[in-house]
Amino acid sequence: MPIQRKPLDARVDPERFIPARVLDYSDSAFTVVHQVVKLEEPVFDPDAFTLMGKEMDGCESRRHRSVEALPDRAAFRYDPRAHNFIRIGFLRRSRVDRLELSTEWFTGNQVQWARVYLTDELTGDRHLILDRTRLEPDAKHFFEVEPRDGTELYVECYPDGGMARVRCYGERSAQPLPQRVDLLDGATVSHASNVHYGTPEDAVAGRREVEFMRGWESGRAGFGERVLFTRGEAAEVHEVVVDTYRHLLNAPPRFYLFGSRAEGSSDDLMRHAPRWEVAGEGKTVAPDDLRNYIQTRGYLSDFGEAPFEIRLANDDAGPWLPILVHEELRPDAYHRFTSLQNEGPFDRLLVMHFPNGGIHGLRVLGAPVEETEA
């Protein structure tokens, strides 16, 4: 049978459509979640199946979000508050006056209720624009909302199921957000620990221009990856962006960023870079090469086969100041870090993640010292 696509609904106004991207989501086990914000109408191919079952267009989570089995009591716990979420970011600040939630082609497996919030990064306001509302299967739902400026949409999906499209309409000419310099753009890259599938330069260039994994991805044998960025001028750090777009099963669990403005060569500074320590059984060791220590099973002589801790140590009197330490990275998500331990100014930035994995996009936003002191 041919691929099916329903006629474009007259209420879908391409001129007032607000372009957006998926920033984060709780689950989309059956589908490619990034389809949910497309302007193009969802399609249905009766003959398309994947390892996960019927191929659908949009976002579809796994089942049983609200139900938990209680083995000891031969019973189940049902939580009416349980839900999935989709966090959507507009490509620029916009004024929203209409919301579309489509469950097209989802018949019996659609999201049953939805609640939607609009957030404005510029003002910090967060408004409920659609209270918990019932959704019908295989249907478009349009809601007129009070016109508000915003930058992000947060959709709560009760309790689980599929949503073909989440689209906003309005004006795209609202006041833009302040633009900042990407401090990694044009920086010299060195001391990369692992460039197995991609390079740090690929991550700096990552802007979601492809529909597959691309960026800096290390091999599985890595244990504590790092790369040094050197700038020609010092700058303050205001925000860090780490995008694990499309890295669904291989995103690094934790991320670190350090900065330095100390004198000396990059090689000298890297000799005093934060390093990994291994602790257990009342003992702490600092391997010269953690990857080799793990791969050659050097831990056997120190701890046998007992579990041990791995942690990052940094000399407080050394040349590196922490900016972000042990920050969680979610799979296939756009992370923005603004609560920083130190802002600089720095002319060298040391990016680290543990133990290994892939990063699609990496940006460090800020301003050169001359601008901040002006």
Q: Tell me, yes or no, whether 191 lies in a domain.
A: yes
Tokens 């989501």 correspond to what residue? 25
Last residue of a domain, one of 118, 136, 171: 171
Q: Tell me, yes or no, whether 270 lies in a domain.
A: yes
| Closest among 268, 276, 267, 241 to 356, alpha carbons compared | 276
3-state secondary structure of 71: helix
Q: Tell me, yes or no, whether 288 lies in a domain.
A: no
Last residue of a domain, one of 171, 195, 229: 171
* CA–CA separation, 298 and 285 (whole Å): 11
Residues 25 and 162 in one domain: yes
Global pTM reads 0.93
Last residue of a domain, one of 141, 171, 201: 171
Q: What is the mean pLDDT of residues 204-226?
A: 95
* CA–CA separation, 276 and 287 (whole Å): 7
Give the CATH number of the domain where residue 234 resides: 2.60.120.260
Q: What is the mean pLDDT of residues 75-88?
A: 98
Residue 252 in this model has a pLDDT that exceeds 90: yes
pLDDT at 371: 53
Residues 121 and 262 in one domain: no
Residues 167 and 185 in one domain: no
Residue 372 in this model has a pLDDT that exceeds 70: no
pLDDT in tens, 112-147: 999 999 999 999 999 999 999 999 999 999 999 999
CB within 8 A of 26, min separation 6: which ones? 61, 84, 85, 86
Residues 344 and 195 in one domain: yes
Structural domain including 113 reads 4-171
* H or E element at residue 372: helix 369-372
